[in-house]
Amino acid sequence: MEIVVVGISHKTASVEIRERLSFPEARLPDALSKMKGISGVGENLILSTCNRVESYATVKDASGGMERIKRFFVDYHGMDGDGVNDYIYCLSGRDAVRHIFRVAASLDSMVVGEPQILGQLKDSFDHALMNKTTGVVMNRLMKKAISVAKRIRTETKIAESAVSISFAAVELARKIFGDLKDKSVMLAGAGEMAELAARHLVNNGAKTVMVANRTYERAVELAAEFEGVPVHYEDLVHEMARADILIASTGSPHYILSAHDMARVIKERKNRPVFLIDIAVPRNLDPEINRIDNVYLYDIDDLQGVVQSNIKERQKEAELASGIVEEEIETFLTWLKSIEVVPTIVAIRARAEEMRAAELEKTLSKMGDLSEKQKKQVEALTQAIVNKLLHHPLVALKKSAGYPESSSHVESARVLFGVDEKTEPDGPEESSALSEAETR
C-alpha cells in the first residue's frame, strides 16, 4: 500500500487548465464514488480550489495507481490526455506525504502563509468522510496534516507579515496609530485596490468611511457598502480634516492634494497624525507633503517595498516550517510502517488458531471419553504452546515496524508461516477494520 498525490496547481498549469479539471462541490460525491471504483485505488479524497486540483489516495501499486488516477482526471472531464498530461504531477510515498503537509501549511500556496487552504483541506476531508472514501490511513494522514499546519502557525511567524498592498497599508496604519479603533478613513477615488484596503482597515477597527469620487453617484454607491458617508469631490480638502487615513486612487493626471492644502488640514486637525496612502499612478499626492510634521505619506513603491520585505520574512519562516514538516513526516511514516505489520500478525494468529483447533479436534476424537474438565485442560495446553511459539516472532515483527527492514521481515514471516495476502488492508472498508488501538 502506497500513499500517492496526483494533481495540478498554479505552479504547473494556467487558470484555464485548472478550471477545466476542477471538481465543483456539487459533483464531488459522484467523483469520489467513481474514483473509489478504480482498480487498485483504496482510500481517497479530492482537494479542488482555484489554485489546485489534487487527489490524495492509497494504492496497491504506486506507478499503476497514479496512472489510473491521472486517466480518471482526464476522462471525467472529457479532455484530451495529450493536452493535459504535461501539467499533471504524480508523487508517491515520502514525497506525497511531504507535499500534503506543505499544502496544509500553505508552504505550497501562491501566497505563502495564507490561511484559506487549511479550511479548504478540512472541507475536502469532510466530503470524503461523508462519502465514506477514507479509512484508517487517510484519516490519520489528514488529521496529521491539519495538526502540522497548526503547529507551524503556532511555532513560526509565517502568517504575521502583510504580503499584499492592501494588507501592507493596514500594517503601516497600525504602526502609526497603534490601535485603529474609531479611526476614520477617506477614499479618494473608487478603485478596486483602494476599496480592498478600506475593507481591511474597517475589519481592523476603523469606524467611519468617507468616499469622494468625481462621479458622485459612485461615491454614494460605495459609501453605502461601508455604511459610510459620500463626499462631493470638490469638498475633498475641506472634509480631509475629519479623516485619519486617506487612500488616494483617482485617475487624475495632477496632484489632488498639495503640500499647501495638507498644511491647512493638519493645522485644522490641531496636529493630530494623518496617514496618507497614494496608490495611484501617476501619483495623486504631492511628495512634498511628507515634509509636514505628523503627516505620513506612502506611495505605491513604498508599499511594494514593505510587501517585498515581508515576503522575504515569510520565506525565512517558511524554512523553519519546512524543518517542522520533515520532523512530522518521520512521525507519520513510522506509524504507517507499523500498520504493515498488523495484518500479518492477525493472519499468523488466525492461521495458527485454525491449525490448533483442527489438531485438537482430531486428537480428542482418539482419546475416548474425557470429562469436560479434561478437555478444557487439553485445549488450554494447546493454546499455551501456540502462544509461546508465536510470542517471540510476533514481538520481533512489532518491534521492526517503522524501520527499513520491516517490509522484508513481514514478507519473510508470511512465507515462513504460510499466510496469504487476503488480510492485507485494501480499500476504506477493509482498512477501517484496523482500529486505532491496533495501529498505534
Question: Distance between CA atoms of 176 and 273, rounded to whole angstroms?
Answer: 8
Please name the amino acid found at residue 262: M
3-state secondary structure of 23: coil
Residue with cell 483617482: 250
Pairing of strands 2-9, 89-92: antiparallel
Set 15, 25, 50, 363: catalytic member? 50
Secondary structure (DSSP) of 171-206: HHHHHHHS--TT-EEEEES--HHHHHHHHHHHHTT-
Q: What does residue 81 show for φ and ψ, rounded to 5 degrees?
A: -55, -40
10 Å Cβ neighbour count for 141?
24
Q: Are 56 and 102 in contact (CB under 8 A)?
A: no
Q: What does residue 255 show for φ and ψ, rounded to 5 degrees?
A: -65, 135
Please name the amino acid found at residue 78: G
Q: Are 179 and 305 in contact (CB under 8 A)?
A: no
In the numeric block, which cell numbers belong to residue 108? 505550497
Residue with cell 483442527: 358
Q: If we measure between CA atoms, which residue out of 169, 147, 174, 171 comes closest to residue 159?
A: 171
Question: What residue ranges in 189-244 does DSSP mark as E strands?
Answer: 208-213, 229-232
In the numeric block, which cell numbers belong to residue 14? 494556467
Q: In the 8-state DSSP scheme, what is residue 434?
A: S
Please report, to the nearest 10 degrees, the dihedral formed by the alpha carbons of residues 427, 432, 436, 440 taken in order: -30
Question: Distance between CA atoms of 296 and 275, rounded to whole angstroms?
Answer: 5
| CA 232, 235, 238, 241 torsion-angle sign | positive
Give me the helices (H) in 368-405, please. Answer: 372-400
Q: Are 141 and 59 in contact (CB under 8 A)?
A: no
3-state secondary structure of 186: strand
Q: If we measure between CA atoms, which residue out of 438, 422, 435 comes closest to residue 136?
A: 435
50: annotated active-site residue: yes
Q: Which residues are catalytic?
A: 50
